[in-house]
C-alpha cells in the first residue's frame, strides 16, 4: 500500500481514538454487546456477518441487509433460492441450479454461509440454493460488496449468511404441511428445548415434486421431478462460568429424475436422466468469555457428493458424471473491548480442501487438493454517537496459487435519527478454483467452453445513503414504510498475467484483462402490509 494512504489511515485511527476518549457516550460497543441467549430482549436488530461480531444493525458501518423471520413466515417459499429471488439487487441465475449474482458478478464470487460456516458443493462455480430449506431459518443476512478482508476469496461479490433458529425457553415444536401448485409438497417437523444453560433442537424437512411441463409458444418446457430431505440438529451447553460449547450436524439428500433444460454459453439443450446429491456437514466449537475478552474456537468439516446418470453419453465421460468435494476448517478468533468504544478482533484459520470426480481424474490418479493459511485482524471504533468505523485486513496463503492481502475501511455517519450514510473502500481477490486448475470436461453443446485464467483482484469503493420513515394511515393495522436508498459503486477487475499452470498433460495460461464497471443505481422499496397479508413492490 502507498505510504501516503498508510499515513492517512494511521492519522484517522489516532484522531478517532482521541475523540472517543473525550466524548461522552450514550451508546458504546460495550452497551451494544449481545449475550449469547434468546432470553435477552433487544429492541434493535442485531447482525453478525458484517464484522464477525454482534452489532446493532443501525450502528454497523458495514452495510447489512436482513431478511427477518416475520417476512420468511409470510411467504410460501420452500428454499433459500426462491426467498432471495424477491430481494432487490440480487439476481438468481441458472436453469438447473440456483445461484446468486450480486454487484454484476456471478455466483462463484458470492460466499454462502450457514451459521457462519461455508456451504460446500460448488458445481460450475454455483452453490445450489435449492438445497437449503427455509423451514428452520431465523433470518438471512446479506452483505453486498467485497468482504475478502474477513472471509477470503469466495466473498468478492458479497456474503449471504443463513442463521438458523434456536429454541426458546422450555419445550416447543411444530408440524407443518405445505403444498404449492406446480411445486413441491413439503412436510416440516421441528422441535427443541431451551434453558439458560442448555439448548437442544432438531429439524426435519421432506419435499416431493412430480414431473410436469409448461407450454411456451410452440415449445413444451419440461421440469424434472425431485424429492429431498434435510435433517439439522443443534446443541449448546454452558457447562462452566464463562465457557460455552456448541455443535451442529446437517444432513441433506436429494434425487432429481426426468427431463430438464440446460443452458451453457447461450446454447440451450434438453437432457434426461437423474441426479443424486448428498451433503454432510458438522461443526464443534467452544467459547470462553472473561470480562471484556472472548476466545472462540471451531472445527468444521463437510463432504458433498453429486452424481449424474444421463440417458445419453457425454463424450469420453460416458453416461455418468460424479463429483466429491470435501473441506476441513480450523478457526480461532479472539476479540477484546478496549475502552468504552473500541474493539479489537484477531484470529486465524487453516483450511484443507480437496476434490475428486470424473472430471478431475488425471493420468497420475492423484486427487487435487490445496491448503490455505489465514490470519486476520479488525479494529472497530465508535468515537461519537453518530460516527462509527471498521478497519480490517486479512492475509491468505495458499499452497497452489500463492498469497494475497485484503484490507478494507468502512465508515458510518448518522446525521439524523432516520438518516444513515455509509461508505467502504477495500481490496478483494478471487483465486482460481479447482475447475479452473484441474478440470477435464467434454461438453456436447456446440460453442460451449471456457478459458483458464489466473487470480482476479477487485478494487471497490461503495457509498450508500438510506433514509427510513414511518407513516400511519387511518387504519391502525396498515403501515407504509418507504425506504429509499441510493448506491454508487465502481469496481475494477484486474486479472494478473504471466501465470502458467501445469495440470497432467495440459498447460493452462492466463491472459491480461482490465475491466471497469460503473453501476450507479437508485432503488426505492416500499412495503404495504396488514395484519394478515404482506406485499412488496420494488422499483429500480
SS3 of 76, please? coil
Which sequence spans correspond to the domains of the chain? 3-539
Q: How far apart are CA 21 and CA 52, in angstroms?
A: 25
Burial label, 415 (beta-carbon count in 10 A; 0-12, 13-18, 19+): exposed
| pTM, entire model | 0.74
Measured between alpha carbons, how far is 450 from 334 in angstroms, rounded to an integer?
42
3-state DSSP assignment of residue 377 = strand
First to last CA, the chain: 37
Whether residue 270 contacts residue 262, with contact meaning beta carbons closer than 8 Å, is answered with yes
CB 194 within 8 A of CB 169: yes
What the block records as the C-alpha cell of 511 is 491472459
**CA-based angle 411:87:232, to the nearest 5?**
95
Please give the angle made by the CA atoms of 332, 335 and 337, to the nearest 5 degrees: 175
- Say which CATH topology domain 3-539 has: Maltoporin; Chain A (2.40.170)
- Residue-level pLDDT, tens digit, the chain, 540 residues: 455 444 444 444 444 444 444 444 444 444 444 444 333 334 457 888 888 888 888 888 888 899 998 888 887 788 898 899 888 888 887 656 778 888 888 888 899 999 999 998 888 778 888 889 998 999 999 998 888 889 988 888 889 999 999 998 999 999 999 888 878 899 999 999 999 999 999 999 999 988 888 887 877 777 788 899 999 999 999 999 999 999 999 999 999 887 766 554 455 556 677 889 999 999 999 999 999 999 999 999 999 999 988 766 555 555 777 889 999 999 999 999 998 889 999 999 999 999 888 777 654 556 788 899 999 999 999 999 899 999 999 999 998 888 999 999 999 999 988 888 988 888 888 888 777 777 765 544 444 444 444 344 555 555 555 554 433 333 333 333 333 333 333 444 333 333 333 333 333 322 222 333 333 333 333 333 322 323 333 332
Amino acid at each position: 500500500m502507498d505510504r501516503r494512504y498508510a499515513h492517512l489511515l494511521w492519522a484517522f485511527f489516532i484522531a478517532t481514538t482521541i475523540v472517543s476518549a473525550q466524548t461522552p457516550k450514550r451508546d458504546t460497543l460495550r452497551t451494544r454487546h449481545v449475550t449469547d441467549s434468546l432470553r435477552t430482549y433487544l429492541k434493535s436488530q442485531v447482525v453478525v456477518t458484517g464484522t464477525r461480531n454482534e452489532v446493532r444493525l443501525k450502528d454497523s458501518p458495514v452495510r447489512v441487509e436482513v431478511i427477518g423471520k416475520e417476512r420468511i413466515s409470510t411467504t410460501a417459499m420452500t428454499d433459500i433460492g426462491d426467498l432471495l429471488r424477491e430481494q432487490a439487487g440480487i439476481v438468481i441465475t441458472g436453469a438447473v441450479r440456483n445461484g446468486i449474482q450480486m454487484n454484476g458478478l456471478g455466483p462463484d464470487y458470492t460466499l454462502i454461509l450457514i451459521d457462519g460456516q461455508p456451504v460446500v458443493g460448488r458445481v460450475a462455480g454455483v452453490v445450489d440454493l435449492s438445497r437449503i430449506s427455509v423451514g428452520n431459518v431465523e433470518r438471512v443476512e446479506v452483505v453486498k460488496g467485497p468482504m475478502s478482508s474477513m472471509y477470503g476469496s469466495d466473498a468478492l461479490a458479497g456474503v449471504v449468511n443463513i442463521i438458523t433458529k434456536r429454541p426458546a425457553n422450555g419445550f416447543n415444536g411444530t408440524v407443518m404441511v405445505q403444498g404449492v401448485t406446480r411445486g413441491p409438497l413439503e412436510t416440516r417437523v421441528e422441535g427443541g428445548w431451551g434453558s439458560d444453560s442448555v439448548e437442544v433442537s432438531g429439524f426435519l424437512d421432506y419435499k416431493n415434486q412430480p414431473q410436469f411441463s409448461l407450454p411456451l409458444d410452440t415449445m413444451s418446457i419440461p421440469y424434472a421431478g425431485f424429492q429431498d430431505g434435510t435433517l439439522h440438529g443443534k446443541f449448546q451447553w454452558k457447562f462452566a462460568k464463562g465457557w460455552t460449547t456448541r455443535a451442529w450436524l446437517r444432513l441433506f439428500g436429494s434425487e432429481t429424475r426426468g427431463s430438464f433444460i440446460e443452458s451453457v454459453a447461450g446454447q440451450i439443450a434438453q437432457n434426461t436422466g437423474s441426479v443424486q446429491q448428498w451433503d454432510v456437514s458438522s461443526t464443534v466449537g467452544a467459547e470462553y468469555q472473561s470480562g471484556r475478552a472472548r476466545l472462540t474456537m471451531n472445527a468444521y468439516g463437510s463432504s458433498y457428493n453429486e452424481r449424474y446418470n444421463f440417458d445419453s453419453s457425454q463424450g469420453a465421460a460416458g453416461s455418468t458424471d460424479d463429483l466429491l468435494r470435501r473441506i476441513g476448517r480450523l478457526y480461532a478468533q479472539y476479540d477484546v473491548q478496549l475502552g468504552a468504544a473500541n474493539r479489537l478482533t484477531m484470529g486465524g484459520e487453516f483450511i484443507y480442501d480437496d476434490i475428486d470426480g470424473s472430471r478431475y481424474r488425471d493420468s497420475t490418479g492423484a486427487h487435487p487438493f490445496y491448503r490455505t493459511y489465514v490470519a486476520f485482524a479488525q479494529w472497530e471504533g465508535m468515537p461519537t454517537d453518530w460516527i462509527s468505523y471498521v478497519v480490517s485486513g486479512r492475509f491468505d496463503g495458499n499452497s497452489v496459487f500463492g498469497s494475497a492481502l485484503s484490507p478494507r475501511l468502512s465508515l458510518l455517519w448518522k446525521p439524523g435519527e432516520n438518516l444513515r450514510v455509509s461508505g467502504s473502500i477495500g481490496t478483494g481477490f478471487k483465486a482460481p478454483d479447482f475447475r479452473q486448475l484441474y478440470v477435464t470436461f467434454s461438453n456436447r453443446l456446440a460453442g460451449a467452453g471456457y478459458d483458464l485464467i489466473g487470480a482476479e483482484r477487485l478494487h471497490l469503493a461503495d457509498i450508500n445513503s438510506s433514509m427510513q420513515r414511518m407513516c400511519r394511515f387511518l387504519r391502525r393495522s396498515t403501515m407504509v414504510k418507504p425506504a429509499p436508498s441510493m448506491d454508487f459503486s465502481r469496481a475494477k477487475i484486474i486479472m494478473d498475467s504471466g501465470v502458467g499452470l501445469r495440470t497432467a498433460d495440459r498447460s493452462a495460461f492466463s491472459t491480461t484483462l482490465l475491466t471497469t464497471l460503473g453501476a450507479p443505481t437508485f432503488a426505492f422499496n416500499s412495503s404495504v402490509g396488514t395484519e394478515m397479508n404482506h406485499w412488496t413492490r420494488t422499483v429500480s
